[in-house]
Structure 1
Amino acid sequence: MKLKTLEISGFKSFAQKTKIDFMPGITGVVGPNGSGKSNIIEAIRWVMGEQSAKGLRGDKMADVIFGGTADRKPLNRAQVIITFDNSDHYLQTDYTEIQIARTLYRTGESKYQINGTTVRLRDIQELFMDSGLGRESFSIISQGRVEQIFSAKPADRRAVIEEVAGVYKYKQNKDKATAELSGVQDKLDRVQDILFEIRQRLEPLAQQSAQAQDYLTQKAEFDQLDQARLVLAIQDGRQAAGQLANQQADYEGQLATLHQIILDLEADLTAQKQARQELTTKRQTAQTELLATATRVEQLLGEQKLQAERQTSRSQASHDLAAEIEKTKANQVYWQQTIQERQAEIDLQLEKTATLTEQVKRIKNQLKALDAQTLQTEIDQKRSVLVEQMQRVATLKNQAVFLKQEYQRQTVQSERLHKQLAEVNQALTKVQVTLAQGQADLEQAKAQQQAQKEALAQAQQAGQKLESDFQTARQTWYNQLEKEQRVQTRLQTLKHLADQYEGYYQGVKHLMQARQQFPGIAGVVAELITVPKDQQLAIETALGGALQQVVVDQATTAKTAIKYLTTHRLGRVTFLPLNTVRPRHLATSLLESAQASAGFVGLAADLVTVAAEYRPVIAHLLGTTVIAQDLTTAMPMAKALLQRVRIVTLDGQVINAGGAMTGGANRQQGQGLLSQRQTIDQLTKEGHQLAQQSQQAEERVRTLEHQVQVAAKAFKKQQADLLTVNEDVQNLTHTVQNAKEELARMQKERAALHFELESNGIESEDGHRQPNHQVELETAQQEQADLQTDLDQALQKQAAASQARQRYQAELTECETELARAKAQLEAAQVRKADSQKQAQQAQERMDSLQKQRADLSADQGQVRARIEHDLTEQTTKKDALTAQVQDLDKQLETKGQTIAQVELALENRRHQQGDLMTKSSEVARQKAQVTTNLDHAQTTLQEDYGLDYAAAKAAVTLTMPLADIETKLKLLKRGLADIGPVNLQAIDEYTQVKERYDFLEQQQADLIEARDNLEATMGEMDQEVKTRFAQTFAAVAKHFATIFVKMFGGGQAELLLTDPDHLLTTGVDIKAQPPGKKFQQMSLLSGGERALTAISLLFAILEVRPVPFVVLDETEAALDEANVTRFAQYLHEVNDRTQFIVITHRKGTMANADVLYGVTMQEPGVSTMVSVDLTEVLPAQQEE
């Protein structure tokens, strides 16, 4: 496979389309600094998929597009096309010729093509994968790659061997496996955390489930006996109800007879009272009429006196009204005159408004006549033409400057090249002079070299000691950080679980997450209490599901919360309202017996620390529970307490009231809800301690790091000093040898200089173009001046029109202001006229009112006096008749009152008899109602509690004992249910669900552990493959390196070494070398040129191990002296039959050995162009000269 052509268009400085044909052998690319040589290499890297703009010496990818110069506009597209001869099918494809193109537009769009077909970047990368080619392979070697080898640390130098061995894909796969392993471990940690929390719930749920089963068994027996009790109660109630009904009927018959007698007496009493009421009504009527008549007589006498006094005052009032009427007439005349004045003012303002309106219209027409658009259009056209002419003048000026500068540049460059030729001719003489001086300086340099080596060895030893301490301290710091991270992860998980109420019943969990809606919620019991660590298991067991009961301030809060849970179907919760929950206490005798028993720890309620307001809740839950040391002491204690008290041991075993026992332990006993908060606090404290330790470790690392850096700087200074001395010795040693070889090199250098003179020849036409160009420039400047004059005249005309518009505009503004003022004055005059009309109307209305009042005063006063005297005589006669009538009615009322008293006495006696009978009847009715209520209650209880009617219940139960025995046994069962305590019936189903989830998570945990083990095994296999490939590749590269080093140096020896052969995954790669005349030593102790040539030898060894069809060398030999450059070029000739070389260089020795040279020049600033020459033809011609 060979590289055939490279086409560049719009890429960086290659503005024009440039095509480079690559021939077999060595192709050299030369040119002055800044001419664009490196842009060719970057074009190859770019078309082969380079994605880093910084790697291409840019800030963004669009920077690779030609950006323009003073004479060229920027381009909008960059395109590079590279063509390979693939006739040997080196690349795994059917094509015998492969053309790859990459195009980038300034808009950001880009595309890749293979043989004209648009493809993806991945397709390009896959084409070169494992081929040894590509943008980062050893097919492109720059000076920086050489420096990377000889200046890198052994650990970094290892990457070179790894790249050749092709182990990156294994390392990438291992990185992916490591990431997957981290993900699996995270999932495993989460599963284990969840299992840890579920395990805490499982044991309490198992106890609650068993407790609920016990409860249901006793409750079933209780329900069966209760049904029998209710059936017997209904039978007895029905019998008693029949007897009471008969007795009640007898009483009701007697009451009916007595009731009729009372009705007759009440009718008589009502008739008598009605008669009395009629007499009373007549008397009240007569009395009322008498009082009214007497009052009327008194009024008439007062009116008679008042009439005489009014006669005098009315005469004076008539005179006052006459005066007021005259005053009102005068006021009315004044307002009529005012109305006439206001109308005259309105007429004046109307006339003024019309005049101003006409004046405004006239000014607007004048302004409209001054249209500035035409003038502005003409000015814009003239200005546009002037700008274009100014641009043309500027372009001509720039061209004149460029022609002058180009002529001067070419002249200077030609002089420089001729001067260099002269210097080459004198160089041989200077070399002989230099040899004598060099021999004198050599001995002095060797002595200085030995002293520097000793100082370097001491600095290296001190630096290694500090580096070891630093690595140890850093590893300690990393260990601390890892430990801190594990604690923080564990803490965050527990906090999250606690905040989300994981481990709680669903109803409790949903309610507490919405507790902001219920201000009365105090919290869950588990949150409100604190228990010593050694007693936590006992209290958790004693409380069981009650740990998750919710404490609220009052029953109404519980009611609201229950409604919320029911509405949203979120589950069930047990509430403990502080205003209804009552504490429970152990009987004194039982408490004394417990305290006297061995192993007594205390009452459970007394062992709990809780706020005072919640103490009744704890007494309610734990007031009758005893905590014992262990089961051995608990059993005798239960016997002493007559099996009537629930006992819980410190290790969680339970002896229930009645003798039932619950015990055992899970295979993995976890923490409960009570200890969860203590674990969080403990982890928080531990996290703070670890953070402090990590900080201290970090401070030590920073201190050692600074010391290492100081030591490294000192070592580098010693190393630099030694390198300087080594270079001096090396240069002096090779001076004589260089002089012998200098003659042949000078001949080739002279040929290269002649070629460069031809490439950069002066174009004499530029000197002749300058006078003609100056005439053209002066003509353009005169045209520009004429255009400026025309524009100035148009601007003056526009300014005059603008002044006229401003004058008319000011006049228009003044008229419009005066018009607005006149309209406002018109409106004000109209308002004042309306006000005057209103005042005139009010004066007329006032005058009419006064005239009417005066007419009323003139009525006939004589008629009033006659009427008063007639009425007085009539009312006096009526008063006397009414007085006699009232006296007669008083006598009749006295007689009727005596009759009513006799009837009422008889009626009262009968009612006493009725009351006695009703009391007896009511008692019978109450007894009957009570029996009926009890009967209804029994039937309702049957229906509501058991879903049975009386007939069904009677058929279902077996009545084998009397009611009294049934009630006795029910009391015992009820006490047993109470001793069981609060029961969570949901625990049965919830235990089943949690157990299923626990089993599922345990299986998932096993699967994750298996996945983790598989990943670790796979990573081990990858490590083994990397070791094998690395070892094989290293051995092959080391072998070729030793051979090529001898060729490159003309002798000596070199060796690749592993810094840690026992650990092939991490070992570094070191280089030891012994150039001719030197001792065997580290590469870092060699001179700069020796190190560069050693690194180049290693790169060539790599190419021997993994050969590639072509290699691009970008100033790789820049650091070599001339003798080594010659050997470098000779080696290229030795291997160019199997590898095609493209060499970017400015070294004459390399140029002299190239088969084809391409010159890169910038005849136009900022634009690269290419010229080529076949050196097989040039060199003989130069030698003949």
Structure 2
Amino acid sequence: MHLISIKLAGFKSFVEPTTVELDPDVSVVVGPNGCGKSNILEAVRWVIGESSAHQLRGEVNSDFIFSGTESRAAASRASVELLFDNSDGKLGGDYASYAELSVRRDVQTEGQSTYFLNGQRCRRKDILDVFLGTGFGTRGYSIIRQNWVSQLVNSDPETLREHLEEAAGVSRYRARRHETLNKLNLTNQNLEQVKLRQADLAKELRQLKAQAGRARRSEALTKQLHAQKARLIDSKLRIKNDHRDGISTELNVIEMQVAKIDTSLQSLNDEAEQFEALLASQRSEQQSTAETRIQAQTLVNSTTHEIEQLQNLRDVAQATIDSKLNQLDDEIKLLDTDAADLVDLQKSYVRTTAQLGELLDRKGVADHDLGLVSLEFDKARAQKEQSAEQLQQFSKQRDSLESQQRVDEANLESLSGLMDSVTSTLPVLSDIEASVGESERKAQSSEHTLKALETELTSITATINLKLKTQASLGEELENSRNRGQDLREQRLSIKILQDSSLGQTELTDEVKHWLSNANLKPGLRIGELLDVEQGWESAVEIVLGSHIQGIATNDLKQHIQDVANLHASDVELVAVGQNSSDESRESDLTPLASRLLGDSRALAPLFKGIYTCETLEEATRLRVTLDRAESVVTADNVWVGKHFIKVFRSSQGAQGVIERQRQEEELAEEISAIEQAMTTQQADLVRIKTDIEESEKSREALRERIAVATTQFTQDRTSLSHYRQQLAQNRNEIEIQQKQRVNREGEVVRLTQSIETAKKSLQGLASEHAAAQRDFDQGTTREAVLESEVEAKQQAFSALAEQVRTVENEQNELALKISFLERSQARQEELVSRLLAELRTLIEQDADAESRLPELTQRQLTNQASLTQFEEELSVLLDELRETERQVGRVRDGQTELTNEKNQLMKSETDQKTQLAGLAVEISQLMAERRELTVDPDLENEQVEENTDVAAIECEIESLTTKLSQLGLINYRATTELEERTTEKELLDAQIQDLAEAVAKLQQGIEKIDQESKRSLRSTFDDVNRNFGRLFRYLFGGGAAGLEFTDADIIQAGVIVRARPPGKNNVTINLLSDGERAMTAIAFVFALFELNPSPVCILDEVDAPFDERNVEKFTELLAKMSVETQFVVITHNPATMELAGNLLGITMEEPGVSRLVAVNLEDAFAMAANQ
């Protein structure tokens, strides 16, 4: 048997369907680290039933599905399939006849695994059973992953024993033993249960025998009881029928009286209709007269209003006329004043015109004289300017030479200063460089401080945001709690209102409240509020209590009996509580309704005397025949059954009762209290978090202020540093330029000295020419001054005349403006006077028209007032007649009311009689139904009930028979049948116990046989493996010794430990060996197991990694020998191991995250391994 191929699809990095074809002897898998080689080993472990995802470097099964990369989407499922060649039939059991065996496992993204054997779905246990005992399994020694080989020999003794059992094939026995032990335990449990049932049946048989005897006695008594009950019912039927006939006679009398009253009512109704018709006619006439009066009143009011309007109009017009006349007088006066002013202004204008002509003539003469003098002044000024120009030229030449001399001297001095400044700048440059270093240190310190503060600000801001979120969350929780509390309070209030209404709390009159107060009774302490009832019996208790549930509780009823006389117009019910009372009516196993009361409500037990409970209507019907007249039974589904009645309460089924509402109100109160406590805690948390936020905000603001200060300081330091750096660079540039210019300007100093000497000589020649020009200029200045004085005199005279002309012209213009303004104002006033006159004429005409209409309106007002008085008199007469008719109608209505009340009393009496009649009919019907239900002996059926039959004697007889039946207790009428059934069942159980005891003995024998076979096989395997292990250890180490030891004398339960002694060392445990020695020891142990029970397939994952070259050679030699019996799949980087390969498989991961199978050249593989 060997593994043909491994098919992977979507498993870990093998996203694409990949088939790994394997050599029957040795297949070697190579590839770089991280390319997915170990995924092949994990795929094999996974498909053969590995259940722990941690063993395969995962968390859950869905982790084995390809999770996707940047260029590939994630897969939705993973599948691995192993194909085995079983032509040698090594796999036993059901699959021994199969030449090939396919094992597959699939997993979806939901994490659910599915197993398949040869394409058929199966369980994980089926997969494990196939490879059980072959060494090829999830916990076997045939799949050795990285680092596991050295861990193997370090395993605990129990794990080593499991490997030994797998090699010995004992694991099959152990599985069989485990199954047999489970069956044995299950059989023992079944045997114990059957024995318990047998004991129970023995008790039941004893009880059933006693019950069968009571059932026979009960049957005889029941027949006698039914006969007496039939006689009693027949007597009651006769009495009820007589009572019914009497009520029918009374009903006939009442009907005749009602008919007589109806006749009288009809007569009164006819009379009432006549008066109603007359009343309607009178009301119609009165309404018509009232409407006519209203119309007349309207006319009077309208005329009065019109007269008042005319009078008001005249008053307004007269006032307006007076106002307009006054305004007209003012305007005429103003017009006369403006006319006089206009005449005066025209005279002034003529006078200023003559004065202006004379001044213009004088101004012309002065202008001519000023022109002659100005010509002479201009000639003198021209001569002076010519002399001044010559003088200016000489001065410019002198100034130019002096200026050039000064410039040359300044340049000479500047050059000397520049050459001196180059030397003086060097010390300043050193100071600036020192300042730059100091500024850099300050800027770095400021920047560090600023960053630290900003980091602290970020931290505080994050804390504040977190607290704000917490505050919002707490606020939302508080709001939810508040809303929930409000909802619960509203719900409790609605339940409270409904409860108070049901208990009559809202119906108490003032009289009742006063009476209760005087009696020292609490109005709110109702019976319904005291009730606490067993679950499921609330409706039954409320049905029985009826209106008593609204009663007011009292501890002493006698105390309040005398006070009842004080109540005159109110209803009230008092109920005694707390008084001990025992139900002595019967002694039976019936459950009293009072026993369903809980806690303090047991004080209400007297209200339920003689009332019992049962679960179903069938049981109540059966118990009814045993009840006394004062006894009854109520069921949990609202049916109340008595001796002579049955009441069904289904209309309110499903609705809340008083007790349930009381219980719900208490639960709501508790929930409201819990919510209020939670709200208190939440509010405290909110206050605390708010305080924390405020403190954090203060800290943040303080920190921001510090950051602002630090930012300012940092900016200043940076600015200062930049300034010093610029100054340093500028000084360095200036020094370089000055040093270059110093050389060039040394020649310039010589040239400037020569130029200064030449300028001094030229200035001496210009001095004599400048003196002659100065004399000519002084003479011209003197003549110009004389002529300038004369021009100024002429100019002043001319200016004075021109000013007089301007003054007269301004005065003339001002007069012209005033004249124009007065003319326009006079025109406006004349127009206003004309308009006022027209308005006065209109107002006078309106006033005359209003005065002419007043007499006509006054006459009309008198006529309308007379009509109104007449209509009011007619209306008063009609009202008197209407009142008289209404009195007649009231008299008739009173008669109708009196007859109607009498009729209602008769009808009420008739209704009461009919109610009694209906009640009798129901009672008769119930009696007849009870009579039909009775099973009476045919010999007693034909006996007639005499009229003088003693009902009391019959009832005494029935009570005697009922007592005898009740003394028998509950009767099981199926006792005889059940006795036969239980006897048969006991016989079957006796046979079953015997069979189970035999099965237990056989299972115990099987376990002992399995233990013997396991011990024999395990001992033989232990010896063989120990021998092989020592031999292989000496081969690999070149000497030394190694062996296995049991930890206990009982080898079935004992563990296994490994002892090893490499050459030159003492006998030590594995933990004291080096890593290489442990790996070699583990290989020796594994191959010792293989020699005894070769696994069909062995997968080794880099087990040769710790070996040196010599040990690798030994390792490969062992592999070559053992490959005859076992197929090896080796994952390695070692070239020596690769040489064994009959099939060399390469794994690559050129695409990130995706493994592929590639063809491998052996030489390339060796080179790859060497590079690794």
Fold conserved (TM > 0.5)?
Answer: no
The structure having more radius of gyration, on CA atoms, is 2
TM-score w.r.t. the length of structure 2 is 0.37
TM-score w.r.t. the length of structure 1 is 0.37
